[in-house]
Amino acid sequence: MKRVFTVFSVIALIGLLFIDNSIAQDSKDAKDNKKASAASSLYVISAKAGAVNFVSGKVAVDKEDAKSGYLIKGDTVEVGEKVRTGSEGRAEILLNPGSFVRLAENTEFEFTTTSLDDLQVKLDGGSAIFEVIADREFNVAVNTPKSRFYLIKSGIYRVDVLSDGFGKLSVWKGQAQIGDKNATVVKGGRTAAFINGQASVQKFDRDDKGELELWSKDRAKELAKVNARLRGREMNRSLISTFSQNGSGNLNGYGLWVFDPFSRSHCFLPFGNGWSSPYGYGFNISIWNYATPTYNLNQTNPNFGNAANQQPGSSFPSQNNGASSPINSSAGSSGSNPSIGRPANPGINSGIDRSSPIRSKASPIDQ
């Protein structure tokens, strides 16, 4: 009987040890899962162009190493990689912070450069909508096989590649320049196309919106909602981590891209208050909602705090150390102070008509 009791005691002890180890392991796993969850809740901050923010249908990509495949949301398009949407394919790709290109069906697109102050893309075929935040220093050049357009003001633009390789530009809002010998400037409500090699500018009805225009507007509305849902504590931690690692290197332009792990989408975080997208959807959250990162930024560069508090439409010192615009060599510089600060709002819904950065031989089209 004593031997039986001893055996049962040993078995019971082993069982208790097993249970204790299981509880400890479960507790460790729970802590690890909590840490993983906390890490995954951090936002990813960047200023890089090329991230794929939306894909519908089949969207192929041809890489320089001759390998091809299909894009999915979260991929990145590099310079020289050609994106091709299928007959039912659409894609949204990030440009400079706050700017998007939205590709229609049967469209071919690629980056020529991804430099934020010299962003150049190529549309080899099809149609695309460009929702752009731009000014003299941060504009977008769109090339087709036989034409070039510069998107020089914040606005909404459609580019179609015609059968002869020339492009057709429709300015829904903003201002663009045709890369012809006259440097023709095209304002909102006008289309520009080439006939026999000569630019022709005409009015169009901006109330007549097609599926591509409506889809682009819906995307802008959805991304403004993502901005409004950014969470304070997680954003604080993410900004502190980003600026601790990169210093002020991400502070070129008007804001930052924020990848939201909850919606799995990038949205725009502006450097100033009172912003809205070119479509008019307000950005309720700006970098000034987060006190600690702005304190750190002020320590990094005192000009940042002063600049970003100015009112929409105001202008700050240039970031290009006095270099002239790459598009127009005759454009005057706005100073040599490489201040981080940018205008709180580059003319969007501000009622201020910021003059075109492209002045040389320009022939403005009156509205």
Residue 146: alpha-carbon gap to chain centroid: 27
Where do the domains of the chain lie?
Answer: 53-209
Fold of 53-209: Jelly Rolls (2.60.120)
- pLDDT score, position 305: 43
Residue 258: strand pairing partners: 45, 267
Whole-number percent of the chain with pLDDT over 90: 48
pLDDT, one tens digit per residue, over 15-44 is 444 444 444 444 444 444 443 344 445 899
Binning the chain into helix, strand and coil, the percentages to the nearest 5 are: 25, 30, 45
- pLDDT score, position 109: 98
Query: Considering the entire predicted model, what is its pTM?
Result: 0.74
Which positions of the chain have pLDDT values less than 50? 2-40, 301-344, 347-367
- pLDDT score, position 138: 84
Assess contact for 139 and 162: CB atoms under 8 A: no
Counting beta carbons within 10 angstroms of the beta carbon of residue 305, is it exposed (0 to 12), middle (13 to 18) or buried (19 or more)? middle
Task: Collapse the DSSP code of 216 into the 3-class scheme (helix H, G, I; strand E, B; otherwise coil) and give the result.
Answer: helix
Task: Collapse the DSSP code of 299 into the 3-class scheme (helix H, G, I; strand E, B; otherwise coil) and give the result.
Answer: helix
